[in-house]
Structure 1
């Protein structure tokens, strides 16, 4: 399937509350949520649904066995894939995001693996932190901030 809708993509998410909160953001923005296995929890976990509140039933959810399965079945255009990493080469404020943007976030504890990042250096982004006292935000907060920025650009 060729993806036409924008999406937040979570690579092997570990914390159910983050996934639930990101699902809620996806509903608010009318974008897809793509989850790549394995997860650090069961999607039936009440903490996923608690964080997503009564919106979880409206999440446009797609699940994939691994990164290759995601690329084969979802088939996002290579230039529509943006990977978020602490040391990305550009900030999230620089790209001209396409309407079918796919924002890829890694595991909460270790980020994205080298095989996912390889060859995508030009589309690896960071969310800048102004304070020297913090190196990153909670995954759900970061995903929400980046998604709003990407859609602001893509839909303008």
Structure 2
């Protein structure tokens, strides 16, 4: 399974997600442009001393990612606040891509075109909260998606 962050903006979210990737032996894929430099202390601080162990790949844009990886449609799982389905619904492909957008705007509409059936949300019970922190959502999704591999 691979984690894809499309144009992430906040370095400590990327660092925290990178740390989760190290813990679970997952590749972290970053789609540019990034809202920060990977050399920034805040990325390393959030990933602590684990950042050097992140299996990291970067692409200049979404199309470059698609061209290089050529994922099957059913390997793509997009996570958005208004996703059509709950993150608990799919049977996740162990070779799938868990895809998250930037903190301020989510995933671009151009990426989500014709992907409504591949778009998922994290259910919340309170209407007082519009959204959760990207690193928190990604961690919840990752552990749900990997439940079979983790003995769940």
TM (norm. structure 2) is: 0.96
Give unpaired runs (5+ residues) of structure 1: 1-5
Structure 2: which 5+ residue stretches go unaligned?
none
Task: Identify the match of residue 110 of structure 1 among 105, 108, 111.
Answer: 105
TM-fit CA distance, 1:153: 4.2
CA contact (8 A) 1:18 1:140 kept: yes
User: What SS does the corresponding residue of 1:50 show, helix, strand or coil?
Assistant: helix
Aligned match of 2:128 in 129, 133, 140? 133
The count of residues paired between Structure 1 and Structure 2 equals 151
Map of 1:1-156 to 2, 5 A cutoff? 6-153=1-148
Describe the SS at the equivalent of 2:146. Answer: helix
RMSD: 1.1
CA drift at 1:131: 1.3
Structure 1 stretches of at least 4 aligned residues deviating more than 3 Å after TM superposition:
153-156
TM normalised by structure 1 equals 0.93
